[in-house]
Chains A and B, each alone.
Chain A
Amino acid sequence: MIELKHVTRRFGNTVAVDNINLTIETGEVCVLVGSSGCGKSTTLRMINRLLPHSAGEILVDGEDVTAMNPEQLRLNMGYVIQGTGLFPHWTVARNIAMVPHLLKWPKERIDARVEELMTLLDLDPASHASKYPQQLSGGQAQRVGVARALAADPNILLMDEPFGALDAITRDNLQMEMLRIQKQVRKTTVFVTHDIDEALKLATRIAVMDQGRIIQHDTPENILRHPASDFVENLVGKQDRGLKLMSLRPVRDLMQPHAEPKHSEAGEGGVNEEDSLRQALSVMLWKDLPEVVVFNARGLETGVITRASIIQEGV
């Protein structure tokens, strides 16, 4: 658990972070979102003491961070940044092994962990372990960055616009990966982004920041339904809030399940249980269908979802 109590950060006369209070529960993904210069990165960098705070208290699992040795504190927090910051003179495997190495793990344990993480992040250990960062694509490099942050199995993960420099398709893939990995490892995550769609997709709770203050701290659904101010309303987009709400709910919520899953060919119109209502509606609009069949992860047909049900209950 991370608690920020009345935390302020000044740079000279300007106040970058203004008396904020924020509690991030264990295992949740808290996304700090706001325009550039709103203090979100500053807030993140105060948690691992890359920046000192000017006033207030920051507690990690009940302990004041200023009382801890900064290196020890950071070794227990994964840190992922936009430019990856991989060591160009180290191989992928050695980059991932950085923190376990600093913690003086035995070699066999490090090797096993590196292989495990590369597999988790969908990087083939055989072909990628001995490559250098320059030989990777942007998406692969950021996967290595995430693997490096997870290497010593820290309780906390700090991510500062990690997918900001990637193209839309790669970013989308990595967001899906992150959701999948988060389900497995359940890290307390603080994620900074300026992209509200990314925030809505990844967060369990979103903290909207503006001019150094937290304007609203709530679940994605509540942020969309009850924006606290005009600023938040504009940020989430007044007009397409309906579709954004639909993209938060999976098809499973509104489908009419079959009594028993059955084998059938996955037709072009089919959607997945995990897909969002928004995607299902889009498929139906494009194909001009009143309903589509729903498949589960193993490819069995488990139900149907109708256009009418989405229109009536989707939002």
Chain B
Amino acid sequence: MRIWLPPALFAALLFGLSVGMPVLEPLFQWLQPDKQRVVYERESFLFLLQNHLLLVAVSAAVGTFVAVAGGIFATRPSGRDFLPLVSQVASIGQTFPPVAVLALAVPVLGFGEAPILVALILYGLLPILRNTLAGLEGIDPTVREAARGMGMSSGQVLFRAELPLAGRVILAGIRTSVTINIATAAIGSTIGARTLGDPVIAGLVNGNTAYVLQGAILIGLLALTTDSLFEALERTWDRRFSPQVATMSL
């Protein structure tokens, strides 16, 4: 149970600050004595947090599904020919800056949530794809050989051996992807999506450091919450599917 404590604490802090940011007004006033308004009020932080989370969650769900399916396809006998291509795309995609994806998506999809969603999905599925390939390719080939030789069907080999064995690495890929996307989603504010990036952009435009700080603190807390959530998930996974790691480290 103790492993769920850090994510719970971070989440409580995040929620608390989203609702009660005005409580800190004196602090921000002290930081920025020359400004009349020091707490961002154009939109409630809770609404921005909710929208930000929704964008990340939808893109992570779609990205995970597409990436895992793609990774499985590229490692099947029928899709083997695509493996070099898929793994190259997964690697090269990582060098592509998310801002560039946005710049390319806006002319096609217009302003608002749609282009940032596309950018997040495309950008987020690459680490998952790379880890799915690494996880599946990293399985001891004798395990697959024995599983088939003992009479398991390809579906049984996939669900009983390959996915449980590769799952830990895939989960790590999802963790990386979600953490990156929490930061990337904030850029969506530049093209009209409502995210926790709004106060940051507004602060930069108006020269109001307090706004920038408020946005940045919440984005940072959100990243910490999800990251510690994944940490807890990975530990739980270890206990369920690779208990040998747990017993050996005792």
Which of A's residues lie within 8 Å of B, judged by CB? Answer: 48, 50, 71-77, 79, 81-89, 98-99, 102, 132-135, 145, 148-149, 158
Contact = CB atoms under 8 A, between A and B. Distances in A.
Contacts of A133: 244
Nearest to B165: A89
Given A88-B244, A89-B242, A83 B150 contact: no
Interface of B: 140, 142-153, 156, 160-161, 164-165, 241-244, 247-248
A40 B156 CA distance: 28
A76 B149 CA distance: 10
A89 B165 CA distance: 7
26 contacts: A48-B149, A50-B149, A72-B151, A74-B150, A77-B151, A79-B149, A79-B150, A81-B142, A81-B146, A83-B140, A85-B140, A85-B142, A85-B144, A85-B149, A86-B146, A87-B161, A88-B242, A89-B243, A98-B150, A99-B150, A102-B150, A102-B156, A133-B244, A135-B247, A135-B248, A145-B146
Given A88-B165, A132-B243, A102 B152 contact: yes
Nearest 9 pairs between A and B by C-beta?
A85-B146, A83-B142, A75-B151, A74-B151, A79-B149, A132-B244, A85-B142, A71-B151, A85-B143
Contacts of A83: 140, 142
B154 to A, nearest CB: 9
Contacts, number: 76
Contact of B148 (A74, A82, A99, A158): A74
Given A72-B151, A84-B146, A102-B152, 19 more contacts: A48-B149, A71-B151, A71-B152, A74-B151, A82-B142, A83-B142, A85-B145, A85-B146, A85-B147, A85-B149, A87-B143, A87-B147, A88-B140, A89-B241, A89-B242, A99-B150, A102-B150, A134-B248, A149-B150
Contacts of A98: 150
A89 B150 contact: no
Contacts of B148: 50, 74
Given A85-B142, A89-B165, A71 B244 contact: no
A134 to B, nearest CB: 5
A212 to B, nearest CB: 22
Nearest to B242: A89
Nearest to A149: B150
Contact of B151 (A86, A88, A99, A135): A99
A203 to B, nearest CB: 22
A76 B150 CA distance: 8
A84 B144 CA distance: 11
A100 to B, nearest CB: 11
A75 B152 CA distance: 8
Contacts of A89: 161, 164-165, 241-244
A88 B238 CA distance: 13
Nearest to B146: A85
Nearest to A135: B244
Contacts of B151: 71-77, 99, 102
A235 to B, nearest CB: 27
A98 B241 CA distance: 16
Contacts of B146: 79, 81, 84-86, 145
Give the residue among A79, A83, A85, A133 with the most B Cβ atoms within 10 A.
Answer: A85
B22 to A, nearest CB: 51
A87 B147 CA distance: 8
Contacts of B143: 85-88
Nearest to A84: B142
B244 A75 contact: no
A84 B165 CA distance: 17
A87 B146 CA distance: 9
Nearest to A91: B243
Contacts of B144: 85
Nearest to A82: B142
A70 to B, nearest CB: 8
Contacts of A87: 143, 147, 160-161, 165
B98 to A, nearest CB: 36
Contacts of A50: 145, 148-149
A88 B165 CA distance: 8
Contacts of B142: 81-85
Contacts of B149: 48, 50, 74, 79, 81, 85, 158
B234 to A, nearest CB: 15
Nearest to B152: A102
Contacts of A81: 142, 145-146, 149
Contacts of A88: 140, 143, 165, 242, 244
